Amino acid sequence: MSQSVEIFEMGPRDGLQNEKRAIPVAEKIALVDCLSRAGFRRIEVASFVSPKWVPQMAGSGEVLAGISRAPGVSYAALTPNMRGYTDAVAAGADEIAVFASASEGFSRANINASITESIERFKPILQAAAAIKLPVRGYVSCVTDCPFDGPTDPDQVALVAETLHLLGCYEVSLGDTIGQGTPETISKMLSAVTKRVPVSHLAGHYHDTSGRALDNIEASLAQGVRVFDAAVGGLGGCPYAPGAAGNVATEAVQDHLVGLGYETGLDRDVLVEAAEMAQAMRSDS
């Protein structure tokens, strides 16, 4: 098994979408430009969702227009529907992502659709993207626990992940959206999913609400997962405030992976710089 692990940087999207303060586009651009020097291959920088639902992501087109694109870096955007897809393509996103849930409660709360309806919404996006050879990533949320429906059945995660894979998502990112997963529940979930989707097409996306994200990453490494989503500075919540954590912090994942003997290709000094920048952008800083 390869000793190389990729971290997909989420800070400018998953991190900033949770901030209470309206962050100026110039600050978002400065963060992305700093991250572009760190050695990431993929950075999620934008989200073309309804500004009524997520006002923090308004201005995503301006962010994509304003950043200095580093060669070899793919700048990604979330697209919940065809409107978002059209806007993302017009803004020059290098890849897009559709996002589904393994639980009905979160699907309804997040995108106002059942799981089945959301998949139907994604089909034309995947067809249109295939026609212009635009890579599409897929997310499955609530892979172990849902804030509305409780524990998630691993077979249900496997079914949704397989559906996205078969529709053409080049990678499916498995989200512990509320950070309640444990190494045991993550391992059970992965055992079910890897029966239906090759592990080389999977990524782990773990929020750190309970401080177990690094343990969950280690459990996932043991099952062959080699891509993990993370956000510099633990953006999206405070890693020191129980119950308020967001994405697992990129610099913590980097240090943990290096400690385990994996290579990420990232420049730690730039990560620290970006983490300080991200911390300064927080509402509570």
Among ligand HMG, Mg ion, none, the one that 54 touches (CB under a kind-dependent 5 to 8 A) is: ligand HMG
Q: Show the tokens assigned to 133.
A: 């050879």
**Among 172, 163, 150, 139, residue whose Cα is nearest residue 103:** 150
Among the residue ranges 12-20, 37-45, 87-95, 163-171, the one whose residues contact Mg ion (CB under 5 A): 12-20
Residues β-bridged to residue 48: none
Tally of helices (H runs) and strands (E runs) in the chain: 10, 10
Among the residue ranges 52-60, 151-159, 162-170, 260-268, the one whose residues contact ligand HMG (CB under 6 A): 52-60
Q: Which residue is nearest to Mg ion (CB)?
A: 14
- Residue 9 sits in the site that holds Mg ion (CB under 5 A): no
Q: How far is the CB of 77 from ligand HMG (least distance, A)?
A: 10
Catalytic residue status for 238: yes
- Residue 14 sits in the site that holds Mg ion (CB under 5 A): yes
CA angle 19, 63, 81 (to 5 degrees): 80
Q: How far is the CB of 10 from ligand HMG (least distance, A)?
A: 7
Residues β-bridged to residue 8: 229
Among Mg ion, ligand HMG, none, the one that 83 touches (CB under a kind-dependent 5 to 8 A) is: ligand HMG
Q: How far apart are the C-alpha atoms of 63 and 16, rounded to whole Å?
A: 13
Q: How far apart are the C-alpha atoms of 36 and 49, rounded to whole Å?
A: 24
- Residue 54 sits in the site that holds ligand HMG (CB under 6 A): yes
Cβ closest to Mg ion, residue 86 vs residue 136 = 136
The catalytic residue positions are 238
